C-alpha cells in the first residue's frame, strides 16, 4: 500500500502573513559592496572606493588612485587651489 501525504491550507491563516518591505531603487554591486545610486557621488569613478576629504585643500580625493576628484577653481586668488599639489600624496 502506498503512503500519501495530504496538506491542508487554511486561507484565514494566510491572510495575516506580513509581507516584507521591498526596496525599490537603483544599485551598483561592485567588489562585494552594494552602492545606492544616490551615494555614487561619494565614490571614485575609477576604482569605486570611498572618497576622502582633505581639509587643508578643501577638496575630495581618492587614496588608492592618488588623485584629486575635484578640479581647481578658476579664481586666481583662491587660497586652497594655489597651494594644492598635483597629487594628494
Give residue 74's pLDDT: 85
How far is Cα 62 from Cα 8, in angstroms, rounded to an integer? Answer: 59
Its pTM stands at 0.67
Residue 29: strand, helix, or coil: strand
Cα 58 to chain centroid distance, Å, stands at 22
Stretches where the chain sits below pLDDT 50 are none
Q: Which residues contact 34 (CB under 8 A, 6 or more apart)?
A: 27, 28
- For residue 68, which of 83, 56, 86, 50 has the smallest C-alpha distance? 86
Amino acid at each position: 500500500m502506498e503512503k500519501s501525504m495530504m496538506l491542508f491550507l487554511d486561507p484565514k491563516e494566510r491572510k495575516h502573513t506580513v509581507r516584507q518591505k521591498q526596496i525599490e531603487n537603483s544599485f551598483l554591486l561592485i567588489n562585494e559592496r552594494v552602492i545606492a545610486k544616490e551615494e555614487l557621488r561619494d565614490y571614485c569613478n575609477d576604482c569605486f572606493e570611498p572618497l576622502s576629504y582633505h581639509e587643508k585643500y578643501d577638496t575630495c580625493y581618492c587614496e588608492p588612485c592618488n588623485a584629486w576628484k575635484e578640479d581647481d577653481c578658476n579664481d586666481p586668488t583662491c587660497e586652497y587651489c594655489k597651494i594644492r599639489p598635483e597629487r594628494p600624496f
